[in-house]
Amino acid sequence: MKIRLREPTIAFLFLLPAFIGVIVFYYYQIVQTGIYSLHNLQHTADWQTQPFVWFKNYATVFRSTYFWQSLRFTVYFTFMATVLELAVGLGMAMATFWVSRWLGGILRAIIIMPWVIPPIINAMIWRWLFHADVGLFGYILVSLGLVDKPPLFLTEPMLAVHSVIFADVWKNSSIMAIFLLGGLAAIPADIYDAAKVDGARSWFRFRKVTLPMLLPTILVALLFRGIDALRTFDLIYGLTGGGPGTVTETLSSFAYKYYFTYGKFGLGSAYAIVVFAIIVGLAAVYLSRIRRNMRFKE
Amino acid sequence: MSRERKWLVGICILVVLATLAACGPTPTPQVIKEKETVVVPVKETVTVKETVVVPQEKTTVTIAYNQYFNMTFGPADPPIVAIKKAVESKYPNIKVELLVTSTEAKTWHDMYTTWFMAKDPTVDILGVGGYWTAEFAEAGWLEPLNDGVAPDVDPKITAKLIPAYLEAHTYKGKLMGLGPWWGGIGGLYYRKDLLEKYGFKPPQTYDDVVTIAKTIMAKEPGMTGWTWSGKKDVALVNRWFEYLYGFGGKYFDDAGKCAMNSPQALAALEYMVNLIKDGISPAEVATWKEEDSMVRFVSGQAIFHTGRQDMLFWLDNPEKSKVVGKWGFIPNPAQPGGRRSGTYEGWAFAISKFSDSKDAALKVLEVMFDFPVQKELNLSQGPVQAHMDVYTDPDVIKNNPNMPLIEEIAKTALAPLSSPQYPEIADILAEEIHAAITGLKAPKAALTDACARIDLATGH
């Protein structure tokens, strides 16, 4: 017996496993976290037997001065890290794209290395580099005579904030470069040839050909890295532990701490939902701007 | 399908089958039993004894602990090997396995939280920090060992364990774990040679430390006064407790409210801050974990160092230390009216409420805290163990001649703050104390904020 299916039905059947996967592995947890956030859960996730507290947990979140402080830091960190990673990543992509094929392969293998190092290992490496007694950076600065004694990279608030940004840029510029290399490869060579014939020099070609053609890739890469930076946790946790005081505390650390360390699943869930809402909100605004930009390109 | 491809498929199937066979259950040890077979003949009954082999099921008891359980630092097997040997000889039908956890206490704690939340029955015995006892007990995640409901530990075992340590692992009158199998107590290391050279006796008060440090630092250029671990971490909280009690403060008042904003507590924190301001402790202490903080003392560049007793093992080893024979180790100082205190960080073993082999787990736990294994643990990773006979054992004293120093320090052991909210309280204290020593907050503001947050967390 032959079963005849119309094209939309076949498409639906093909999509069904992925659809079920997304529902089971993503949306179910979000709904569950939302339910938890409305209950007073301490060391238990059995929400049906625990008091329903309406939005009390959310009120606690918004009343916390530490939450607002960490929101400010997280936004600053995300902005600085993403912009610097774009600049460094673009430089690395340009440098590796225009060299010979075999050298490009070697350089690409080298630039991807920081990205494949697990964040917590990365944090340990940087902790030693910034170490006040035996750190390389302190040694270099003292040897060059720029300072009398090694700066306290992880204790001085301003230095600590920018040290974690520096470590993040080192790690994640490479993935930005890999994204942009894909974008560069997609630009047709004949456009460059035409520009050369018209007498355009290299800087002009970069501004008028490369950058506009690369813009869609840049926007997607920024979105990807921006969301990732908003959720940063391991690197900063390993490097400063959120210190000095709470100066480098990130939003993600709140949900983690209240959920896993303190066992306050209700409050931890409220933090998680608020962070989720902030990320979705920022991503939505960003995506709408990208769409507008794409329409303009069309 | 081509001939080559058929061969290839055939080989792949064989490889898969062989792999599956290799991954199958390993043969379990067998016990010889006598089985009676009754033969009924026509006229008479004859009983024939026949020997048959009946496989015996082994119960697996899984212990969760970090990688140090696989290591030895002395003339004995690593702890897990010693435990396996002792259990196998006493209970052949019990198999012990180690599940390696993180060495980082916070990550380790959070692993447990995840397992408990999932009611995971895989882990039977857990290594638990003394300050986790109240939290896990309050959540009902640990099996009480003396509540009259099985599994209860044999009183003959507990009678031999040091009561003060057992007290630290008791919550609301219920013994939640046996310990320590390994422990740390804070004390003060000092440069005996330098103190003698400048005519000082070992310090008794915190003021003495400042006087001695200032004098020697003035005469020995490049020398650091006092090193300690000030990174925003649990070690900073432990150091804070020592200063707090040393200045006559305490954790909570009689009503259970935070008392760490008392005048004594303020004096303690101001003292810590002034150590850095006056240059007796370098500003770098605020970035140091325990292992970083000992570097200068071991290199001969510091007069005092506060830390656990761990260094005693190798301070006289010339390959690792530049202060061989030049050091002393005494209980932490205290101001008049204060208590000389070393924060006790003992690691106990407890039985998970969700274990599916509680009886077997109890048997293993009893073996672990009986003298033979305790002695092995001391020889491999001593010196702070629960069993009191260990401290007078000739082999132990021969292996660690510094046992008398440790006994002195142990007298000042300060039980960690006991609260089901300990992880949150520890985080609050780490944040506020760190903010004070790095100059982000005035000591009074830091303690006021700390107590407000702690009272909120504990519901006061």
Complex confidence, ipTM? 0.76
Residue B3: phi, psi to the nearest 5?
A: -65, -40
The closest alpha carbon to B129, from B375, B426, B358, B408, belongs to B426
Inter-chain residue contact B287 with A132, CB threshold 8 Å: yes
- Classify residue B251 by its DSSP letter: S
The first and second tokens of residue B383, run together, are 């010196």
In a domain, A198, yes or no: yes
Give B184-201 pLDDT, tens digit per residue. 889 999 999 999 999 999
Q: Is residue A17 part of a domain?
A: no
Residue A283 falls within a domain, yes or no? yes
For residue A34, being part of any structural domain is answered with no
User: What's CA B412's distance to the chain center, in Å?
Assistant: 18
Distance from CA of A204 to the nearest CA of B (A): 48
Report yes or no: A245 at the B interface, CB cutoff 8 Å.
yes
Residues in chain A closer than 8 A to B427 (CB atoms): 257, 261-262
- Give every CB contact of residue A289 below 8 A, 6+ residues apart in sequence: none
Provide the shortest C-alpha distance from residue A261 to chain B (in Å).
6
Superfamily of domain B185-343+417-458: Periplasmic binding protein-like II (3.40.190.10)
Question: Interface of chain B against chain A, CB under 8 Å?
Answer: 106, 109-110, 113-114, 117, 135, 138-141, 231-233, 282-284, 286-288, 292, 295-296, 420-421, 423-424, 427, 430-432, 434-435, 438, 440-441, 457
State the CB neighbour count (10 A cutoff) for residue B385: 28
* C-alpha B298, offset from chain centre: 23
The shortest CB-CB distance from B284 to any of A152, A245, A263 is to A152
Highest mean pLDDT pick, A95-109, A145-159, B24-38: A145-159
Angle between helices B443-458 and B422-437 (to 10 degrees): 170
Which residue among A45, A242, A261 places its CB closest to the CB of B109?
A261
| Bridge-based pairing state of the strands B125-129 and B342-351 | antiparallel
Closest-CA distance, B272 to chain A, in angstroms, reads 15
B207-221 average pLDDT score: 97
Contact B195, B202 (CB under 8 A): yes
- Report H helices in B144-191: 155-158, 163-168
| pLDDT digit string, tens, across residues A45-86 | 788 888 999 999 999 999 988 899 999 999 999 999 999 999
Residue B173 gets the label, from left (phi > 0), alpha (psi -120 to 50) or beta, of: left
In this predicted structure, the answer to whether residue B30 has a pLDDT above a threshold of 80 is no
Of the candidate CATH numbers 3.40.50.300, 3.40.50.11270, 3.40.190.10, 3.40.50.10140, the domain formed by B59-184+344-414 belongs to 3.40.190.10
- Asked if B438 lies within 8 A of A157 by C-beta distance, the reply is yes
Mean pLDDT of chain B: 87
The pLDDT tens digits of the residues spanning B100-122 come to 999 888 889 989 999 998 899 99
Contact B151, B145 (CB under 8 A): yes
* Contact call for A262 and B423, based on CB within 8 A: yes
- Average pLDDT on A244-263 reads 87
Task: Tell me if A185 is assigned to some domain.
Answer: yes
Neighbouring C-beta atoms of residue A232, cutoff 10 Å: 21
> Given a cut of 80, is residue A139 above it in pLDDT?
yes
Set of chain B residues whose Cβ sits within 8 Å of the Cβ of A245: 232, 431-432, 434-435, 438, 440-441
Option in A133, A244, A262 nearest B440 (CB): A244
Tokens, residue A45:
């996730």
Start and end residues for every CATH 3.40.190.10 domain found in chain B: 59-184+344-414, 185-343+417-458
Mean pLDDT calculated for residue range A209-215: 90
Q: What are phi and psi of B174, to 5 degrees?
A: -105, 130
The DSSP secondary-structure symbol of B206 reads H
Q: What total number of domains does chain A contain?
A: 1
CB contact under 8 A, A263 and B135: yes
- Distance (Å, whole) CA B442 – CA B440: 7
What residues does B270 pair with on adjacent strands? none
Torsion of CA B277, B280, B286, B292, to 10 degrees: 170
Size of interface A-B (CB pairs under 8 A): 86
Residue contact B110–A260, C-beta within 8 A: yes
Average confidence (pLDDT) over B72-87 = 93
Q: Which two tokens stand for residue B161?
A: 């364990």
Helix B263-277 vs helix B443-458: crossing angle, to nearest 10? 130
Q: Is B166 helix (H, G, I), strand (E, B) or coil?
A: helix
What is the rounded distance in angstroms from the CA atom of residue A73 to the CA atom of residue B16?
Answer: 53
CATH number at residue A179: 1.10.3720.10
How far apart are alpha carbons B257 and A286 in whole angstroms? 47
Q: Is the pLDDT of residue A135 over 70?
A: yes
Select from B438, B453, B454, B456 the residue whose CB has the most chain A CBs within 10 Å, as the one to mutate to test that interface: B438
Q: How far apart are the first and last CA of chain B?
A: 77
pLDDT of A40 over the 50 cut = yes
CA gap A174, A65 in Å, rounded: 35
Say if A152 falls within a structural domain. no
Q: Does A131 touch chain B (CB under 8 A)?
A: yes
- The whole-number pLDDT of residue B306 equals 96
Taking the C-alpha atoms of residue A267 and residue A275, their distance in angstroms, rounded to an integer, is 12
Residues of A in contact with B231 (CB under 8 A): 241, 243
Residue B390 amino acid letter: V
Would you call B287 and A155 a contact, using CB atoms and an 8 Å cutoff? yes
Contact A245 B292 (CB under 8 A): no
Tell me the residue range of the domain where A278 lies.
66-120+157-255+268-297
Which residues are registered as beta bridge partners of B350? B126
Nearest-CA distance A130 → chain B (Å): 10
* A132, A245, A257: residue with CB nearest B438: A245
Residue B62 host element (H or E): strand B59-65
Q: Is B304 helix (H, G, I), strand (E, B) or coil?
A: strand
**Has residue A220 got a pLDDT over 50?**
yes
β B94-100/B59-65 pair status: parallel
Which phi and psi angles does A295 have, rounded to 5°? -60, -40
Residues B34-58: tens digit of each pLDDT:
444 444 444 444 555 555 555 567 8
List all residues of chain A from 191 to 220 with a beta carbon under 8 Å from chain B.
none
Q: Cis omega (within 30 of 0) on the bond before B55? A: no
Write out pLDDT tens, residues A108-123: 888 888 888 888 888 9
Determine which helix (DSSP H) or strand (DSSP E) holds B60, and give its type and residue range: strand B59-65
Measured CA to CA, the distance from residue B217 to residue B198 in angstroms comes to 11
CA dist., res. A155 & res. B207, Å (int): 27
Instruction: Report the distance separating Cα A267 and Cα A58, nearest Å.
Output: 8
Phi, psi dihedrals of residue A263, rounded to the nearest 5°:
70, 20
Find residues 83-102 of chain A whose CB sits inside 8 Å of chain B.
none
Q: Is residue A186 part of a domain?
A: yes
Give me the mean pLDDT over the B82-108 stretch: 93
Which of B431, B433, B441, B449 is most worth mutating to test chain A (most A CB atoms within 10 A of its CB)? B431
Task: Please check the confidence at residue A1 and state whether its pLDDT lies above 80.
Answer: no
For B298, the 3-state DSSP assignment is helix
Q: What share of chain B is helix, strand, coil (3-state, %, to 5)?
A: 45, 20, 35
The one-character DSSP state at B278 is T
User: Whose structure tokens read 């080298």?
Assistant: A110
Over B323-380, what HEC string results? CCCCEEEECCCCCCCCCCCEEEEEEEEEEECCCCCHHHHHHHHHHHCCHHHHHHHHHH
